[in-house]
Chain A
């Protein structure tokens, strides 16, 4: 499967799961709203240009916004993490990303510790920015602070569960077309 097809499938699956499962389940508590759709952006291949990342991020967020009736909210947050992602990868990996032997960010490609930091930072950024926008609109400081922690915790739990449940068959980057 080429990267393009793989990521289009992922896009459909993540949006579907977010819209029809996670947004619909009766919440365990008012503070817990699980988010996982931005895992798509976290898992995008290294080879995508920074401009490409930005537009993919914006488009992904906007698609979710169309379904959730929150125009701009997720789009703003996912554009932010798409912008931060390349900077974070440069900081966390010793090598230039073009020299990495794997195609996508993963525990194997980046070592467990840097990869965990990478995921945690992007999750926190995404949730904080999104909840900040919601906070500006609605208010409730304590609500906002608790929500950042609880929402990020549940998102991280989901992401690492997804990581363990669906091991990606990571291929070495090769010169031959695959």
Chain B
């Protein structure tokens, strides 16, 4: 027994080293598996505060760029206002209801909240973006994030009280359901961890008609993203003989180097959709086992 203590005392630096390594590796492993750990709870608040101070200064450098984007989006929204549309034939007397469409038919599926980016990297393999809205402002995991010009940025993966972490499109574990605007074929957009301007779009069937410059939007089959937000444009078309699918190189619509204002979009019915999916799965499994 005494010898063990002597042994430990003698090599205590080495054991401390091993101990610290194990802690560090444990952080690393558990974080990768679940995207989040307790580790980030308090730390997220702290770094969030420092980052937002720094951001106050940094924002000035890209104000002009940001203004243009906001202005463009405002412009497109102005065009959607009802006052832009009129009835051409004013002499014709039609019994017009004050409501010219059936309001019961429409319901809200998505709701957007504005937020500001406080920290963002592009040079890692796993890039995260931190925004200044958190659980207290209603941000939850799996909400979609788009830029001020409506381009896809990423998905919320962790929230603290006042800040949230977003898994950027530039994250090797990221995968977004995407569709070609022209023909509507679905695929999956992923990042290979190399070029911060380009991502890859996989699983587009060979029947699709793809050309350079085609627009890629978020698809209508995503639980997180509303359909029709721009992911990017096709920069290079490659065909993979092994899988019989296209491998498209996509230039991202968002410029990840100067992100500032973003919109966090919540799918109000997400929980119901997910619940339905898991319940269906359960039901089918039960059916399978009873049929045996």
A binds B: yes
Majority secondary structure, B binding face: helix
Known: A23-B121, A27-B123, A71-B37. A80 touches B21 (CB 8 A): yes
Tally chain A residues at the interface, Cβ within 8 Å. 36
Majority secondary structure, A binding face: helix
Known: A20-B54, A51-B12. A65 touches B17 (CB 8 A): no
Q: Which of B79-87, B188-196, B277-285 contacts A (4 or more CB under 8 A)?
A: B188-196
Known: A26-B257, A76-B21. A54 touches B13 (CB 8 A): yes
Chain B residues near A79: list those with CB within 8 A.
17, 20-21, 24
Partner of B121, one of A50, A55, A68, A75: A68
Known: A26-B257, A51-B16. A72 touches B172 (CB 8 A): no
- A24-67: CB near B (< 8 Å → 1, else 0) gives 11110010010000000000000000110011011001100111
Please report which residues of chain B, range 1-49, place their CB below 8 angstroms from some CB of chain A when the two chains form the complex: 12-14, 16-17, 20-21, 23-29, 31-32, 37, 39-40, 43, 46-47
Give the shortest distance, in Å, between A118 (CB) and chain B (any CB): 19
A93 proximal to B (CB < 8 A):
no
Q: Please determine whether A66 and B12 come into contact, CB atoms closer than 8 angstroms.
A: no
Chain B residues near A137: list those with CB within 8 A.
28, 32
A3 proximal to B (CB < 8 A):
no
Q: Which residue of B lies closest to A137 (CB)?
A: B32
Tally chain B residues at the interface, Cβ within 8 Å. 40
Residues of A that sit less than 8 Å from B by CB: 20, 23-27, 30, 33, 50-51, 54-55, 57-58, 61-62, 65-73, 75-76, 79-80, 83, 133-134, 137-138, 140, 143
Residues of B that sit less than 8 Å from A by CB: 12-14, 16-17, 20-21, 23-29, 31-32, 37, 39-40, 43, 46-47, 51, 54, 119-126, 128, 165, 172, 193-196, 257
